[in-house]
Amino acid sequence: MAIKTIAILSPGDMGHGVGMALGQHGYDVITCLAERSQRTRELAQAGNIREVPNLESMLEEADLILSILVPSQAEGVAQSVADAMRATGISRPFADCNAVSPDTSRRLETIITSAGGDYIDGGIIGSSPAKGAEPRFYTSGPHAGVMDELDGQGIAVRNVGGEAGRASSVKMCYASFTKGTSALQVAMMTAAQSLGIYDELAAELTSSQPENLSRMEGNVPRLPSNAGRWIGEMEEIAATFDSAGVTPHFHLGAAEIFRLLESTPFSQESPETVDRSRSLADTIKVVAEYLPANLETAD
């Protein structure tokens, strides 16, 4: 099947970059922005993504739908698209590209296929094309081949075959390391701050782990702007591990760290407005103040 028009729900940080990249490779990229935020609208404009008034209109035009959202919204969006398929009698391939567990992906498959749509299990690894990256889209399931032609069109498509859930499993295991490591770094430095040995630990890391410390300096101050999105992702990873017989507690703990970051004033920043001058030490000092025990003392 030749794909000409691609719908993206929703053009957020990753979605607008993907839409921009696909548009630059000749695809007509559309979206429905009903009930979306002003930031999302601005990102859609930045990505040159064309708006259509509703999901029914989107189904009439789109050859493929890419769902690129936070995990907590994945099921609701799939249900809304399925309802629109039933209302219009138009079925389309629907790729869930969100950070969800294999079990969640299989639930989404049921929602879409029950409405006549073709479901594609997907998972994105890498940064947004808006940042100059070419993210990898892992895909699986009986209809995964629909997306193969997008490989090299501003994104890389990695079809891992088999049943729905395989692509999500790759994403979950990969993110368990990347975002899980970031959560562990925040936990380590916040504990050091709370224990009054931050400077001593930083000095040791400067001596024995300079590359890791440098990565923390660049990464940790940006984490609060994404923390709210990543809580659900950690919970999905925990569920994935649990289903595999591996302890879920690492990533339930990581979810708690991202909740802590979300409680700080820094979480009001967006990825576009992060204060790039804020240091690791400045970030951790404030994070430690928002530890539950310290908040109780302040009260």
pLDDT of 269: 96
Rounding to the nearest 10 degrees, give the CA dihedral for residues 118, 119, 120, 121: -170
Residue 298, pLDDT above cutoff 70: no
pLDDT in tens, 160-186: 999 999 999 999 999 999 999 999 999
Instruction: Kindly report, residue by residue over 265-282, the tens digit of the pLDDT.
Output: 999 999 889 999 999 999
Q: What is the pLDDT of residue 299?
A: 58
DSSP per position, 117-154: PEEEEEEEES--GGGT---EEEEESTTGGGGGGGBTTT
Calpha distance 64→91 (Å, rounded): 10
Entry pTM:
0.94
Residue 293, pLDDT above cutoff 90 = no
Intrachain domains 5-163 and 169-298 with the same fold: no
Mean pLDDT of the chain: 96
The percent of residues in the chain predicted with pLDDT above 70, rounded, is: 99
Domains of the chain, by residue range, sit at: 5-163, 169-298
Decide which of 2.60.40.420, 2.40.40.20, 1.10.1040.10, 3.40.1180.10 is the CATH code for 169-298: 1.10.1040.10
pLDDT of residue 80: 97
Alpha carbons 117 and 268: distance in angstroms, whole number: 38
pLDDT at 67: 97
| CATH hierarchy code of domain 5-163 | 3.40.50.720
The backbone torsions φ and ψ at residue 152, rounded to the nearest 5 degrees and listed phi first, read: 85, 0
Residue owning tokens 């739908």: 65
pLDDT of residue 37: 83
**pLDDT beyond 70 at 1:** no
Q: What percent of the chain has pLDDT over 90?
A: 93
- φ, ψ for residue 271 (rounded to 5)? -55, -25
